[in-house]
Structure 1
Amino acid sequence: MWRNYLTVGLRALAKNRTYAFINLFGLAIGLAACLLILLYVQYERSYDRWLPDSDRTYQLQVYYQSKTNGDKYDNQGAPYVTKAALLKDFPQIESATYFGGPRLTLLKDGQATEVEDGRLVDSAFLDTIGLPMVQGDHKALSAPGTVALSETEATRLFGTTSVVGRTLTLLVAGKKADYRITGVFKDLPKNSHMAMRMLARADFPSMFPEDDGYLTSWGWTSGYVYVKLRPGVDVKTINSQMPAWEKRNIPDENFNGNRYNAGDERTFKLVAAPDVHLGIASNSGMTPGNDLQTITTFAVIALLILAMACINFTNLATARASQRAREVALRKVLGATRRQLMTQFLGESVLLATIAMLLALAVVEIVLPWFGNFLDADLELHYFGQDGLILPMIALVLLVGAAGGLYPAFYLSRFQPARVLKANKSAADAEGSGRLRSALVVIQFAVSIGLIICTAVVYSQNVYARTVDPGYKRAGLLQLQGIGSKTLEPQADALTREIAKVPGVESAGRTMIGVVTGQTSTTSVVLPGRPDPVDLGVYSVDAGFFPTMGIRTTAGRVFDERAADDMTTPRPEDPAAERVLVARGGHVVLNAAGVKRLGFKSAQEAIGKTIRYGVKDEYGGIMDLTIIGVVADARFRTVKTAIEPTMFLLDKHNVNWLVARFHGDPRPVREGIERVWRRHAPDVPFDAILADEVIAKAYERLDARAQMFGLFAVLAVVIGCLGLFGLAAFTAERRTKEIGIRKVLGARTIDIARLLVWQFTRPVVLANIIAWPVAWWLMREFLNAYDARISLTPVPFLAASLLALAIAVLTIGAHAFRVARTNPVHALRYE
């Protein structure tokens, strides 16, 4: 019996090659899309599960929310002081580690290069983060002055991984020292939220003796804290005790006579290492994170594409029922039961799905390298083992076979032999089948139109994000990192002046905030007569910053070289100089958002007003700052982030980046700046990048999302058009005599073609009723995540609908004209 079913199924496919091709091609595309997305989801959920004891390793995250204005900021980093407080109060913690601090500079062969993904760590690092070691063991970083390298970094520096015992010269926080290599660890895989190539053991208290704020401040975040819990400990117990832990450890501060506690605006939480990548703070860590919503969206779209292929199978199976009706009738006459017939047709459906799965696997094997490179992911296809896909593939075949074949099996097996064999008629036109096919076509094209709309909106938002006015002149702007190095501080003024004299350079300035640098610094100020503090971003710049950036002044003036503007004090801190500055007061420049937050009605009203700024108690506690100017808002971050209300200070020591405005070819300008840099600072790496390149890199993920939507939209349209073409072909074949009679009675070719085209484009028109509201809701939610966004106009909706309609007409039109031009004699010669 089963061999007969198999033989009949294969013959049915061979007899109807168009039907077989449409179904196999559509199902293969849908299954391939599902398998690729399954691999992608599997990869995204595999982050850091390779880490030894990953189930006991947690990252301390800080969630900030301002009490004054509700601003939120989630951070994977944590203050240095939190590690000791955790170990002190929670005996459930087996070990804890901190790593972060200033960047590492490698001095080799007279050249200074920044160590990519170089980290300063403390003593318990390898006990907490159990990196697999190639050489050495977990005691490799047990003493200050030791360093561990990744395999790639060891090979890059020495040409071999056998490097234990060798020495590296590093420059850290302005201090040059030799570090002995004591270990080599395996390269971290891409599916890790951590990025590490060099780990240098440091003694943080001795490294920052003059900067105790780094070591003791609960609001200073420059590194990461990880803990390993003891076996059997429930992290929920610790997290539930965090509010009490904050109150015990975070000291009160006085600000303008009011009590202030950093813990009032911060929530601390331990997050499992495997959950960091897809967590709410996923984009504030060492590597860009992802969000579960994006992954879920693509998984749902892949399933919709597969469903469209199943719809094709159902539609075409019911449409060609007339070709199987007599077979069903004869089988019933010969004693076949309805259950046997249903088993036969479901078996044919599963057979088709199996062949489609084999084709899909071939497609996946071919495109997987490209797909992994596109997503920057190490995607691998395994059939067996823990991550093997053999069981999901079998489940997909059975599911698709049942989804595509269940209704046709019920539909075909219910034919009555008497009705079918009487006068050689067929029961193919059973009531309701045409309405079902039309409804399924509507669903198919609703998905296609919706994806086209989403693609258009995402692409338009991407273009808008890149081209929206940022409030500064982005073209011709070069950004350099490292000007804030302690090695450069004594000669930073001279270096900035010489860079401004390089041919092609128009001006140069220094800043604490640059173009998408990730720098965030917030403080509270108080207006005289108002008790409640106001949160503002606070960033240091020099006098050349605003002219170089091209930021427009809307009221007052910006900083110049006059002494009253300069709030720079000596490094290391000189208490006497700090007290003199506090007593004298300072000048600040606000942006337009800062003016609004402080409650001034206009920029001009703010000029000359005084705000009070908290400093250390030993320096006076409160400092008066006079507003001397207001500048237009500038968008230093991506369009997802709201423009920060900001005050700028002129402090030449508290800067990290140098910006240079130039004209002409950027290559000779960059080379000229590099020569000046190398002459002044041979021990500081030269790291310069164009602002346009920074923006392009910042929007890579949005680009990838737009391309993914586009790819899915194309697949959906192709599958929908295949099904539409198949339905048109079978319907035209069934209506051959009707078309012949219409032509004999005088119908023109154009009339017949228009009749056929309208029959199959009508569901496409109706599909808009479903697609438009759903797409509008989804894209509204998508755009609401951006501070600067396009308006959701009817244009993409109308364009998507017209495009889908045009594609449908082209798909059916050529076939309709061919059928309409057929000589009616061939259809009516036996009548």
Structure 2
Amino acid sequence: MWRNYLTVGLRALTKNRVYAAINIVGLALGLAACVMILLYVRYETSYDEWMPGADQAFQLQTNYKATAQGGEEMHLQVSAIAAGRALLKDYPEPVEKLVWVRGFAPIVIQDGEAGQIKNLRMTDGNLFEILKVPFVRGSAATALPDTHSIALSESEAKKRFGNRDPIGQTLTIVDNTGNVDYKVTGVFRDWPKHSSFTADAVARFDLNTQFSDRPQALTSWNTQQGWNYVRLRSPDDAAFINSRMDAWKKRNIPDEVVGGQKTNAGDVQDYRLVNVRDVHLGQAQNAPVTPGNDHRTVITFGVIALLVLGIACVNFTNLTTARASQRAREVALRKVLGASRGQLIVQFLGESILVALVAMVIALAIIELVLPAFNAFLGSDIQLHYLGSGGVLLPLVGLVVLVGVIAGLYPAFYLARFEPAKILKANKSSADAQGSGRLRNVLVVAQFAVSIGLIICTAVIYSQTAYARTMDVGYRRDGLLQVGNLGYRGVDGRDQAVTEQIRRIPGVQAAARTQIAVDPDSNSITRVYFPGGTQSVDLGDYSIEPGFFEAMGMKVLAGRGFSEAQGRDDITTPEQSDPGRAAALQALAQRGANVVITLEAARRLGFHSPQEAIGKQFQADMLPSEYGLLPVTIVGVVTDARFRSVREPLQPIIYTMRRNGFETIAVRFSGDPSAIRGQVEKIWKRNIPQVPFQARFAEDIVREQYDREAARAQIFATFAMLAVVIGCLGLFGLAAFTAERRTKEIGIRKVLGARSRDIVQLLVWQFTRPVIIANLIAWPIAWWLMRDWLNKFDTRITLGPTPFVLAGLLALVIAIGTIAAHAIKVASANPIRALRYE
């Protein structure tokens, strides 16, 4: 029996090659898209699952609440050193191990030559006892035995030592305490790409020594410079600790008196232990260890996978039911010869599964070809294994059966219900099988509704990304070069001389050092008070030097910028170790300082215009607590500058003038960018040869800020195109069959005087009407989805009718183009051929 079913199924496929090809190609594309996205979804949801003991490894995260004073809501993966120490103190039983980790790219001296390790992690304990990456030399237990030991990744060890044994070798790291020698004690495998943590090297250091020049960082709850990683004895302990966080904050976070008002950092902070497997898709994506994602995006792509596959299944159902009349006599004869309805259903379901199996083989071939490019595009390491751990063979077999049943279930019941007596009547043609075609119309509407919705989403995402990259951000992106690495000890104050030399390069219009630049990796906030008042406002606090506004291309709206001729503008104080620092701070607190604020800061402070703010005075929490608040006077108001992504709220900023403590040089230039960069690099290497040169153009930085949105738009575009192609394949098959089925009708119409144009309009209208209805369904759904997505951005495009109308017209044009060839061919045929047999 099964052999007979297989033979009949293969004959049915070979007899109708065009329709079989449309079914198989459509299903293959749908299956390929579905499997690719499901592989991506599995990859995104499997972060850190490779790690032994991942269920016991947690990250202590900090959440900032929005405040009436203007403080923004923030979700941070980092947390204060004090928070980790307090957690270990209060929960010694459930907390088995806790380490604090700091990440940066320091200068590393090897054999007398300076270089950099891109991702060096400094930790105060053995991190590998919590994050258990495999070792190729040494072991996790012995990798970091003391505070002068370092473990390298396999690729970093290969890059630095080649085929030599790195164990016992010495690397010198230049940090704020000077040049410190570290001995290589282990080599670990490169961190897998699907990890929320990554490192090229991990070094152990002593916290008290590292922060000897700024001891307040060890006790401050408002300083988050690194990550607290925790290993719990039981995964269930996390829920226990998290449920008691409010009481824990009250016990440990001390009150502070600022501006005569008692404050507590715990009022705006919440803490939570998050399992490392949940970090990648978690809420905290501000300054992550590695770029994260979010659950909604992953779920969205999973839904798209099912929709694209559903469109392919709809094609199969449509074409099979449309051509049911071609097999009506076969069904009737089988019933006459004794076949039951159940046997016929099994036969047709078997044929459907056979088509799905052939389509899956083609889909897997497509995936094997496309997967390397897909990985390169996403920067991922998605792998397709058929057997073993993570093998997909059994799920794929299940998917074949599921798709075959879903796509063939209705056609099987539809075909099996034919009545032999009606089909085999002498005057009954097999082409006159019953069926109104309503289901087919509904399914075509659903197909194009999905396609139109995806096109709209693609257009909106592209428009928002292009808007974010080109919008007026308050500074000029073009002609702006950012030179980094000023914060390293090896610079030793020579950055001022470098800046002055850069200013003399032909084509350089301005250059200035700054604590903030495009896409900063740190955030500094200060609280300001009006005299006699207790109400405070939170503002961003960054130091710059004269010429910064000119270098950034920012406009002074009222007052003036900073000037070296104005002594009160400068708030520079000696370094922490300088014996004159205390006297300088005391003098600064008594005389006060001049500041420049942004337009948004002026608005937050209650001024109705930039001019109204000039000359106004208030107090700022810019000094160590023992010196009180700093009296400041507003001397200028400048345009708002959106240094960060439009995903984040615009930060109101108060600028101060200093001569030290900078991280970046902003260079405004005209002319050949590469030539300017080359000359800047020569100056850097001539003055600071021991510190690697790092410079990037602002336009490149901004482009990278929105790479995630751009990638998402391209993925949407790809699957929107696939959905349209699959839908058009089905439409092509339906149009061909309908044209064939209505040949006699069209012949009669032409004999009665219908023109070819009338016939074309008749057929085109039959298939464009569902597309028009699909627009009415897709538009409100796409509008709701895209409105919700756009609300994540602080500044966004207006969701107007243009993408909806364009998507609808595009789908209509594609549909008309798909069926026009059939319509014209049938309309121009000689009616005598259609009516000859009558």
TM-score normalised per structure 2: 0.97
1:190–1:378 CA contact under 8 A, matched in 2:
yes
Deviation at 1:530, TM superposition (A): 3.1
Letter in 1 for 2:38: L
Letter in 2 for 1:606: A
Which residue is 1:301 aligned to? 304
Map 1:121-160; keep pairs closer than 5 Å: 121-137=123-139, 138-160=141-163
1:77 aligns with 2:84: no
Mapped to 2, the partners of 1:371 and 1:625 lie a distance apart of 54
Which residue is 1:491 aligned to? 494
Which residue is 1:560 aligned to? 563
Which residue is 2:756 aligned to? 749
Secondary structure of 1:564's partner? helix
Mapped to 1, the partners of 2:673 and 2:703 lie a distance apart of 17
From 379, 383, 393, give the equivalent of 2:382: 379
Map 1:789-804; keep pairs closer than 5 Å: 789-804=796-811
From 558, 575, 586, give the equivalent of 2:582: 575
Which residue is 1:86 aligned to? 87
Map 1:644-663; keep pairs closer than 5 Å: 644-663=651-670
Deviation at 1:107, TM superposition (A): 2.1
1:111–1:682 CA contact under 8 A, matched in 2:
no
1:190 aligns with 2:193: yes
* Mean Cα deviation higher: 138-147 or 217-226: 138-147
Mapped to 2, the partners of 1:244 and 1:433 lie a distance apart of 68
Map 1:49-448; keep pairs closer than 5 Å: 49-68=49-68, 69=70, 71-91=72-92, 92-100=94-102, 103-108=105-110, 111-137=113-139, 138-160=141-163, 162-173=165-176, 175-231=178-234, 233-425=236-428, 433-448=436-451
2:527–2:620 CA contact under 8 A, matched in 1:
yes
Which residue is 2:36 aligned to? 36
Deviation at 1:397, TM superposition (A): 1.1
Deviation at 1:683, TM superposition (A): 2.5
Mapped to 2, the partners of 1:399 and 1:335 lie a distance apart of 29
Mapped to 2, the partners of 1:118 and 1:415 lie a distance apart of 72
1:329–1:416 CA contact under 8 A, matched in 2:
yes
Specify whether residues 283 and 66 from structure 1 end up closer, same or farther in structure 2 by C-alpha distance, changes over 3 A only.
Answer: closer
Letter in 1 for 2:279: V
Deviation at 1:427, TM superposition (A): 7.4
1:146–1:179 CA contact under 8 A, matched in 2:
yes
Letter in 2 for 1:791: T
Specify whether residues 506 and 204 from structure 1 end up closer, same or farther in structure 2 by C-alpha distance, changes over 3 A only.
Answer: same
1:321–1:428 CA contact under 8 A, matched in 2:
no
Which residue is 1:18 aligned to? 18
**C-alpha distance after superposition, 1:468-521 (max 9, x if no partner):** 111111111110112233443533322221121123322111111110123211
Mapped to 1, the partners of 2:832 and 2:435 lie a distance apart of 32
**C-alpha distance after superposition, 1:785-804 (max 9, x if no partner):** 11121111111111111111
Mapped to 1, the partners of 2:777 and 2:365 lie a distance apart of 35
Which residue is 2:722 aligned to? 715
Mapped to 1, the partners of 2:448 and 2:699 lie a distance apart of 39
Deviation at 1:33, TM superposition (A): 0.7
2:621–2:629 CA contact under 8 A, matched in 1:
yes
1:135–1:162 CA contact under 8 A, matched in 2:
no
Secondary structure of 2:786's partner? helix
Mapped to 2, the partners of 1:753 and 1:127 lie a distance apart of 74
Deviation at 1:550, TM superposition (A): 1.0
**C-alpha distance after superposition, 1:267-315 (max 9, x if no partner):** 0111000110000013421111011111111111111111111111111
Map 1:439-588; keep pairs closer than 5 Å: 439-561=442-564, 562-572=566-576, 574-588=581-595
Map 1:601-750; keep pairs closer than 5 Å: 601-615=608-622, 619-750=626-757
1:454–1:779 CA contact under 8 A, matched in 2:
yes
Mapped to 2, the partners of 1:476 and 1:510 lie a distance apart of 16
Q: Which ranges of structure 1 fall in alignment gaps of 5 or more residues?
A: none
Mapped to 2, the partners of 1:393 and 1:520 lie a distance apart of 48
Mapped to 2, the partners of 1:430 and 1:521 lie a distance apart of 75
Letter in 1 for 2:399: L
Mapped to 2, the partners of 1:255 and 1:727 lie a distance apart of 75
Specify whether residues 179 and 169 from structure 1 end up closer, same or farther in structure 2 by C-alpha distance, changes over 3 A only.
Answer: same
Secondary structure of 2:109's partner? strand
Letter in 1 for 2:130: T
Secondary structure of 1:219's partner? coil
2:9–2:351 CA contact under 8 A, matched in 1:
yes
Q: Which ranges of structure 2 fall in alignment gaps of 5 or more residues?
A: none
Mapped to 1, the partners of 2:683 and 2:738 lie a distance apart of 77
1:775 aligns with 2:779: no
1:446–1:768 CA contact under 8 A, matched in 2:
yes
Secondary structure of 1:627's partner? strand
Deviation at 1:326, TM superposition (A): 0.8
Specify whether residues 581 and 103 from structure 1 end up closer, same or farther in structure 2 by C-alpha distance, changes over 3 A only.
Answer: farther
**C-alpha distance after superposition, 1:213-235 (max 9, x if no partner):** 22221111111110000146431
Secondary structure of 1:422's partner? coil
Which residue is 2:8 aligned to? 8
1:674–1:686 CA contact under 8 A, matched in 2:
yes
* Mean Cα deviation higher: 394-403 or 718-727: 394-403
Specify whether residues 519 and 752 from structure 1 end up closer, same or farther in structure 2 by C-alpha distance, changes over 3 A only.
Answer: same
Mapped to 1, the partners of 2:184 and 2:11 lie a distance apart of 70
Mapped to 2, the partners of 1:5 and 1:282 lie a distance apart of 56
Mapped to 2, the partners of 1:18 and 1:102 lie a distance apart of 60
Letter in 2 for 1:84: R
Deviation at 1:618, TM superposition (A): 5.8
Which residue is 2:825 aligned to? 818
Identity, % of aligned positions: 53
1:95–1:128 CA contact under 8 A, matched in 2:
yes
Letter in 2 for 1:86: L
Deviation at 1:598, TM superposition (A): 1.0
Specify whether residues 693 and 616 from structure 1 end up closer, same or farther in structure 2 by C-alpha distance, changes over 3 A only.
Answer: closer
Mapped to 2, the partners of 1:437 and 1:428 lie a distance apart of 17
From 588, 594, 597, give the equivalent of 1:590: 597
1:527–1:610 CA contact under 8 A, matched in 2:
yes
**C-alpha distance after superposition, 1:547-572 (max 9, x if no partner):** 11111001111111122100010012
Specify whether residues 823 and 273 from structure 1 end up closer, same or farther in structure 2 by C-alpha distance, changes over 3 A only.
Answer: same
Mapped to 2, the partners of 1:283 and 1:718 lie a distance apart of 39
Letter in 2 for 1:611: F
**C-alpha distance after superposition, 1:147-171 (max 9, x if no partner):** 1111111111111362001111221
* Mean Cα deviation higher: 57-66 or 746-755: 746-755
TM-score normalised per structure 1: 0.98
Mapped to 2, the partners of 1:787 and 1:236 lie a distance apart of 33
2:174–2:490 CA contact under 8 A, matched in 1:
no
Mapped to 2, the partners of 1:90 and 1:800 lie a distance apart of 58
Letter in 1 for 2:276: A
Mapped to 1, the partners of 2:277 and 2:551 lie a distance apart of 43
Mapped to 2, the partners of 1:433 and 1:59 lie a distance apart of 61
Mapped to 2, the partners of 1:722 and 1:129 lie a distance apart of 50
**C-alpha distance after superposition, 1:609-629 (max 9, x if no partner):** 112122556642221111111
Secondary structure of 1:423's partner? coil
* Mean Cα deviation higher: 712-721 or 99-108: 99-108
**C-alpha distance after superposition, 1:4-59 (max 9, x if no partner):** 11111110010001110111000000111111111111111121112221110000
Mapped to 2, the partners of 1:67 and 1:705 lie a distance apart of 32
Letter in 2 for 1:117: N
